[in-house]
């Protein structure tokens, strides 16, 4: 369908250490669980309320899987960009169809940025050493990394 878009952007914390598994083709896949929260003040009671949503992230990109395996642990604050995907399978016990909706990171439209590490960095399919493009007042930039061959 022309004119459609399937893109998910999330900032959240890992609820558990990443799970790395090997697929049948020999490549690794990473599975993450990210919590996003929103809070508000209840109008009637004045009490502070919070709602947490859990999101399943599946990473097929080998470069991203390596970064996840080396640097991410439970509680890490990350930014991810990927696509929403729903898969179907049969429950072995009941024989019923089951569905799972996940954010999939694969291909050039995916990225992962570690937000709470000292050396914040962003990793995409095409450039695993790209610096984070997210604005952050605490982040000090090293201008020596800038490319002197900018054409303007």
Look at 12-21, 40-49, 116-125 and tell me which has the smallest mean pLDDT.
116-125
Predicted pLDDT of residue 49? 93
In 3-state terms, what secondary structure has residue 107? coil
Residue 125 covered by a domain:
yes
Question: CATH number for the domain including 69?
Answer: 2.40.50.140
In-domain check, residue 75: yes
- What is the rounded distance in angstroms from the CA atom of residue 128 to the CA atom of residue 108? 11
* Beta pairing, strands 97-105 & 48-59: parallel
CA distance 52 to 151: 46
Question: How many structural domains is the chain composed of?
Answer: 1
Confirm whether 12 is domain-assigned.
yes
Q: Which of 64, 99, 70, 67 is nearest to 82 (CA)?
A: 64
In a domain, 142, yes or no: no
pLDDT at 67: 92
The residue-averaged pLDDT of 110-138 equals: 57
Domain for residue 150, yes or no? Answer: no
The confidence score (pLDDT) of residue 1 equals: 61
Interval 32-59: pLDDT, tens: 999 999 999 999 999 999 999 999 999 9
**Coil, helix or strand at residue 9:** strand
Mean pLDDT across the chain, nearest whole number?
Answer: 82
Give the SS3 label for residue 80.
strand
Structural domain that includes position 57: 8-40+48-90+98-134
């Amino acid at each position: 369908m022309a004119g459609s878009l399937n893109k998910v952007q999330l900032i959240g914390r890992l609820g558990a250490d990443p799970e790395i598994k090997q697929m049948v083709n020999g490549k690794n896949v990473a599975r993450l669980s990210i919590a996003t929260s929103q809070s508000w003040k209840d109008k009637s009671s004045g009490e502070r309320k919070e709602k947490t949503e859990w999101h399943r992230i599946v990473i097929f990109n080998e470069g991203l899987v390596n970064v996840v395996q080396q640097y991410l642990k439970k509680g890490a604050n990350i930014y991810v960009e990927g696509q929403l995907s729903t898969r179907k399978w049969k429950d072995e016990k009941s024989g019923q169809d089951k569905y799972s909706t996940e954010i999939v990171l694969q291909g050039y439209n995916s990225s992962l940025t570690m937000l709470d590490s000292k050396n914040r960095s962003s990793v995409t399919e095409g450039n695993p050493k790209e610096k984070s493009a997210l604005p952050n007042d605490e982040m000090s930039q090293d201008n020596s990394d800038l490319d002197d061959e900018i054409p303007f």
